Amino acid sequence: MTEDNATDTEAEDHGPTTFLTKYVWSQDHKVIAIQYGLTAIAIGLVALVLSWLMRMQLGFPGALEFVDQEAYYQYATMHGMIMVIYLLTAIFLGGFGNYLIPLMVGARDMVFPYLNMLSYWVYLIAVLVLVSSFFVPGGPTGAGWTLYPPQSILEGTPGYDWGIILMLTSLVIFIIAFTMGGLNYVTTILQARARGMTLMRMPLTVWGIFVATFMGLLAFPVLFVSGVMLLLDRVIGTSFFVPEIISMGEPLAYGGGSPLLFQHLFWFFGHPEVYIVALPAFGIVSDLLSIHARKNIFGYRMMVWALIGIGALSFIVWAHHMYVSGMDPAFGFFFAVTTLIIAVPTAIKVYNWVLTLWRGDIHLTIPMLFSISFVLTFVFGGLTGLFLGNVVVDVPLSDTYFVVAHFHMVMGVAPIMVVFGAIYHWYPKMTGRMLNGPMGQIHFWVTFLGTYAIYFPMHYLGFVGVPRRYYGYEDIEFIPQSVHDLNAAITVAALFVGVVQLLFLYNLVWSLKRGELAGGNPWRATSLEWQTPNTPPVHGNWGKNMPQVHRWAYDFSVPGADKDFMPQNMPRQSFEAADVHKLDPDPPTAGPPSDDPALPPREGEA
């Protein structure tokens, strides 16, 4: 049931009055979203540089003298953790979630603005704690981004002293920040929607963020607990995850712990985390494809239930990451079956995306190009996932570059394509200006083709048997020369793709002042964020008149309409009276065409 969030029509008058309260200690969801986004991009650039250093060592061994074995494993660990947690999770939920939820559901702001502000600053503290590990004795941890004990906390592993402590502390702080933000997102969606904005009229972007946030609120506490337990093992010598160990003939002060317990806890969080990133991407792509194809999304209700089904099923597939750890065949069979089952709602979404494009008025804008590239990449990565979901195939491939290729296609390239598409799409709303088109075209094509040049060959490396997590392959007899040649080519492609991201950043800054003026709705979209009275939206978003929703978010190319789009806040028209919103999943009942009879107008609503 929706809430009337406009009872105080003077809400917009209580905005920030100083520079600090407007841009630093801001409680405006839009400013907080940009803070999240800029911080996530900044730490993402650190991960990008680390990937360059790793690729230089693999492609041209010894070219960088400072990249020794310890440094390589430290770079690999930090790169993986930054990309999965501190970049992708933060930018999808903290960035796009913060900016879009209140605008798309017709709210003035998040329900708890002060808590929203705190969530960003706690996230920033988590990032700073993580980065500080580069400057402590021994450097950051080199245990691998999964942090498996006992290796991660024992002497001999790079960063076993301060590095692992700071990593685990940073994760705990990040989860606190996520919980603050997540509770805000869920409450805002459930309690602060505009009049007429039923759940089944929300854009799929909001649905994706909503389900992903709910999943995170269930999954992140597991990582929180396991992180605290591992921290206690390292700092005060408990034995939650470390068994009795004899090292160099001497018994260590541990006993009775279970390393497998940590793996189960980590992946119980870890696989939902894949969809905590993927579901917002699914929602955003659904909206971008519909808008830029000028066609309503195909199978809206099916798409919503597919999101919910994927979210639920993601909690019962975690152990397919652990086939090689030693598992009863019955459990292996169960997790192989659930892995195949979760592909069904995912496939439904892919079919619906294709059918949305079918016979649409497709505009190959830059957001559309990135959206289509996401669909292609996710399908390809998903197909390789079917290989790894099968026990007998996964066991020989598990420790090879095939897994690196699969994981990066699904969890790296595909979501990043959506991030770029979303930024190109909503940048005009955030700034009032369009991003430069030619620079965007260069950015897209080099990124799209370049990432395939990087990760396609890695599937071959996996089939050849090239093990992952190796510092070098020069002295391994079974590695053919083709592997060394491919590693060099992959490194060159990675450098090109990395450099073109600098062009993207330049475009962001250049377009702030020199970009073409966008107007209020340059994409002719229907959802509420494009119907604000000001662009960029001011504090309070809607001024004195709150929006009232009369239709779903996908009324494109409606027969009889003057334009090829009908915004959600447009009252029902006379030509619609005879056939009331056949496609609207939550249509109004019969009544006068000028209004939704279930929603009598209130003072201050338009």
Q: Per residue, what are the HEC states of 58-125?
A: HHCCCCCCCCCHHHHHHHHHHHHHHHHHHHHHHHHHHHHHHHHHHHHHCCCCCCCHHHHHHHHHHHHH
Q: Is residue 119 part of a domain?
A: yes
Q: Are the beta carbons of 303 and 349 closer than 8 angstroms?
A: yes
Q: What is the pLDDT of residues 532-574, one digit of tens each?
A: 999 999 999 998 999 999 999 999 988 888 898 999 999 988 7
Average pLDDT of 324-333? 90
Q: Is residue 517 part of a domain?
A: no
- Say how many domains are in the chain: 2
How confident is the model at residue 90, as a pLDDT?
97
How confident is the model at residue 578, as a pLDDT?
54
Quick check: 489 pLDDT over 90?
yes
Q: Are the beta carbons of 492 and 59 closer than 8 angstroms?
A: yes
The angle that helices 259-293 and 300-313 make with each other, rounded to 10 degrees, is 170
Question: How high is the mean pLDDT of the chain?
Answer: 91
- Which of 133, 162, 197 corresponds to the end of one domain? 197
Q: Where are the beta strands (DSSP E) in 345-414?
A: none
Q: Is residue 164 part of a domain?
A: yes
**Percent of all residues in the chain with a pLDDT value above 70, rounded to a whole number:** 93
- Which of 154, 175, 197 corresponds to the end of one domain? 197
Note down the domain range covering 166: 1-6+25-197
Q: What is the pLDDT of residues 88-129, one digit of tens each?
A: 999 999 999 999 999 999 999 999 999 999 999 999 999 999
Indicate yes or no: pTM above 0.85.
Answer: yes
Q: Are the beta carbons of 533 and 542 closer than 8 angstroms?
A: yes
Quick check: 579 pLDDT over 80?
no
Average pLDDT of 29-46? 97
Quick check: 605 pLDDT over 50?
no
Lowest mean pLDDT among 2-16, 195-209, 260-274, 466-480: 2-16
pLDDT band at 588 (very low <50, low <70, confident <90, very high): low
Quick check: 4 pLDDT over 60?
no
Average pLDDT of 144-157? 94
Quick check: 415 pLDDT over 90?
yes
- Dihedrals φ, ψ of 505, to 5°? -65, -40
Quick check: 23 pLDDT over 90?
no
Q: Is residue 161 part of a domain?
A: yes
**Whole-angstrom Cα distance, residue 137 to residue 129?**
14
How confident is the model at residue 299, as a pLDDT?
94
Q: Is residue 556 part of a domain?
A: yes
pLDDT band at 581 (very low <50, low <70, confident <90, very high): low
* Nearest by Cα to 15 from 3, 29, 4: 29
How confident is the model at residue 17, as a pLDDT?
73
Q: Is residue 461 part of a domain?
A: no
Q: Is residue 565 part of a domain?
A: yes
- 19: tokens are 């520079």
Quick check: 309 pLDDT over 70?
yes
- Which of 141, 174, 197 corresponds to the end of one domain? 197
Angle at CA 226, nearest 5°, toward 223 and 227?
A: 80
**Whole-angstrom Cα distance, residue 418 to residue 283?**
10
Q: Where are the beta strands (DSSP E) in 156-282?
A: 246-247, 250-251
Quick check: 8 pLDDT over 60?
no
Q: Are the beta carbons of 212 and 92 closer than 8 angstroms?
A: yes
Torsion sign across C-alpha atoms 147, 151, 156, 162 = positive
**Whole-angstrom Cα distance, residue 399 to residue 71?**
21
Q: Is residue 354 part of a domain?
A: no
Q: What is the pLDDT of residues 46-67, one digit of tens each?
A: 999 999 999 999 999 999 999 9
Q: What is the pLDDT of residues 243-258, one digit of tens each?
A: 999 888 888 889 889 9
